[in-house]
Amino acid sequence: MLKSIAVMTSGGDSPGMNAAARAVVRTALYEGVKVWGINNGYHGLLEEDMFEMQSKNVGDIIQRGGTFLGTARCRRWQTPEGRMQGFKNLVDRGIQGLVVIGGDGSLRGAQLLSQETGIPIVGLPGTIDNDVWGSDYTIGCDTAANTIIDAINKLRDTASAHRRVIVLEVMGRRSGWLAMVSGISGGAEYILVPEVEYNLDEICDDMKRSYEAGKRYILVVVAEGVGSGKEIGKYISEKTGLDTRVSVLGYIQRGGSPTVIDRVKASQLGERAALAIISGLSDIVFGFDRGNVVSINLHDAVTNKKKLDPEYMHLAKVLA
């Protein structure tokens, strides 16, 4: 049994990180274990910016987007010397294990720390991109998808009024998950994701035929991993002559009050992470597989590339 643990958020922020950190803290306190909060990810760990937490420190945060602990990107963490310094800063405070909530990069940094120092590490996938291998869910992906749907609903109104083609570029880094689920649930005609090859000339021809047959407007959702929405929109406009507008949603997708799904799942994951690290487990990431919490080997999670569910790809094709 560990007596003192720490929690941090790292990398890109995502809605629900607060719920996860809150659950880690309150579970640890419930189990009678000391728990530290580290501000600003690995950067804060190197700067010794951390404090012992009480239950009230995580009050009034479950409904907030972002992360109350702050997050950062930290170059020094990419060096073994930096990680050794971080380890020392933990040991100096008697911290025996660390929960890292973050994306792909943060989990990779955590895996290296564990490998090099032996300190127990448990990871939680915190990113809107839903791109962590082994889990069909990452903290924040549901809120981000709902934000995109809201934008799509609004864009539809103006697209319909003007008979426009709307190209909407959404986040996701190299993953098409966000584009795919928001495109499906927003009723997009075309969804361009990095995982599926597409032929823009064929799409343009198809669009022209649809307009000739009386279609009022067309919605194209583009994952940022495919390329620039602006360039795709320009190409469509030139090739089809249709009135085309491009919208790049940007950082709005990262923010906002987390949805019920993100709050509940992040809380479940936070509890499991705290219980696991307290009992001395290490090198695991908790995620979800078809509704159930599962543990994933940390090394596997950071070395494998997650695939987009083929069922989504099929559905998008059928419903377009």
Cα pseudo-dihedral 161, 317, 172, 16, rounded to 10: 90
Scanning residues 166 to 205, which ones bind ligand ADP (CB under 6 A)?
Answer: none
Write down the catalytic residue from 13, 60, 92, 129: 129
**Least distance to ligand ADP from the beta carbon of 106, Å?**
3
Nearest residue to ligand ADP, scored by beta-carbon proximity: 105
- Contact 121/100 with Cβ under 8 angstroms? yes
Is 73 near ligand ADP (CB under 6 A)? Answer: yes
Is 66 near ligand ADP (CB under 6 A)? Answer: no
Is 104 near ligand ADP (CB under 6 A)? Answer: yes
Q: Helix, strand or coil for residue 245? A: strand
Q: Which single residue is written with the structure tokens 């078809």?
A: 290
Q: How far apart are CA 313 and CA 318, in angstroms?
A: 9
Scanning residues 76 to 95, which ones bind ligand ADP (CB under 6 A)?
Answer: 77-78
Phi-psi category of 214—alpha, beta or left, where left has phi over 0 and alpha has psi -120 to 50? left
Is 11 near ligand ADP (CB under 6 A)? Answer: yes
From 6, 9, 12, 298, residue interacting with ligand ADP (rule: CB under 6 A): 12
> Near ligand ADP by CB under 6 A, which window of 16-24, 105-113, 132-140, 216-224?
105-113
Is 65 near ligand ADP (CB under 6 A)? Answer: no
From 16, 66, 97, 102, residue interacting with ligand ADP (rule: CB under 6 A): 102
Which one, 13 or 195, has the nearer CB to ligand ADP?
13
What is the pairing mode between strands 50-52 and 34-38? antiparallel
Q: How far apart are CA 221 and CA 237, in angstroms?
A: 15
Tell which residue, 309, 286, 314, 315, has the closest CA to residue 298: 286
Which one, 109 or 186, has the nearer CB to ligand ADP?
109
Active site residues: 129
